[in-house]
């Protein structure tokens, strides 16, 4: 299940960037936790619930997020100001929504939340309780960006099959 979920998440992220940002991303091997952020950054999150439950999140530096928003909106990164939170929310929404759709045959129809976006410096995310986190790193214009899948359903913890943590 983990391998399938990660393959789908990687595929839909690539599709979103190619079609809506007009810039390809290169997928790197999955790892277990987001690396510590240094400097300003953004994180978009969407929760899902159904046969599985959890969170899909998107994380990038502020600089990368401005480039992404500019690509979507036809603006230069320097022009992107108030548009940034909504654009990050929409990228997160498209990744999570496409993930939901492409997992529907296997996992049934999940309900997904509206996106939440956090902008700040040195951001880190902690989850309370038993969760399994898997991060899909990508390279976007020379910078690393991250899509994370957090599963909160203990019967589907993907890490149960694995003995060693994978560093990002």
Partner 1 sequence: MRFLVVDDSSTMRRIIINTLNKLGHQDVLEAGNGREGIERLSNVGSVDLIITDWNMPEMSGIDFIRTLRAMDNHKNLPVLMVTTNAAKDDIVQAMEAGVNHYIVKPFTPDTFKDKIQAAMTK
Residues that bind partner 1 (CB under 8 A): 15-16, 18-20, 69, 72-74, 83, 86-87, 89-90, 93-94, 96-98, 100-101, 104, 109, 112, 114
| CA nearest neighbour of 5 among 129, 134, 120 | 134
- Judged by CB, which is closer to partner 1: 36, or 74? 74
- Judged by CB, which is closer to partner 1: 31, or 136? 136
Q: From CA 35, how far away is CA 104, in angstroms rounded?
A: 30
Q: From CA 58, how far away is CA 7, in angstroms rounded?
A: 16
Both tokens of 140, joined, read: 């976007």
**Nearest-approach distance from CB 61 to partner 1, in angstroms:** 19
- Judged by CB, which is closer to partner 1: 104, or 160? 104
**Nearest-approach distance from CB 106 to partner 1, in angstroms:** 11
| CA nearest neighbour of 68 among 23, 122, 11 | 23
- Judged by CB, which is closer to partner 1: 37, or 87? 87
Q: From CA 121, how far away is CA 165, in angstroms rounded?
A: 26
Q: From CA 132, how far away is CA 159, in angstroms rounded?
A: 6
**Nearest-approach distance from CB 16 to partner 1, in angstroms:** 5
- Judged by CB, which is closer to partner 1: 34, or 107? 107
- The Cα-based distances of 151 to 50, 51, 129 in angstroms read 11, 11, 11
**Nearest-approach distance from CB 24 to partner 1, in angstroms:** 13
**Nearest-approach distance from CB 20 to partner 1, in angstroms:** 5
């Amino acid at each position: 299940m983990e391998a399938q979920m990660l393959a789908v998440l990687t595929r839909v992220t690539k599709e979103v960037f190619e079609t809506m940002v007009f810039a390809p991303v290169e997928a790197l091997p999955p790892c277990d936790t987001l690396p510590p952020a240094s400097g300003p950054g953004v994180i978009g999150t969407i929760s899902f619930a159904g046969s599985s439950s959890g969170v899909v999140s998107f994380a990038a530096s502020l600089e990368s997020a401005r480039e992404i928003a500019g690509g979507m909106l036809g603006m230069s990164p320097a022009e992107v100001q108030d548009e940034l939170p909504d654009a990050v929310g929409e990228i997160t929404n498209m990744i999570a929504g496409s993930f939901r759709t492409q997992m529907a045959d296997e996992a049934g129809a999940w309900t997904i939340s509206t996106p939440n976006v956090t902008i700040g410096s040195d951001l880190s995310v902690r989850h309370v309780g038993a969760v399994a986190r898997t991060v899909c790193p990508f390279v976007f214009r020379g910078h690393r960006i991250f899509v994370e899948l957090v599963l909160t359903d203990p019967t589907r913890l993907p890490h149960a099959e694995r003995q060693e943590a994978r560093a990002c």
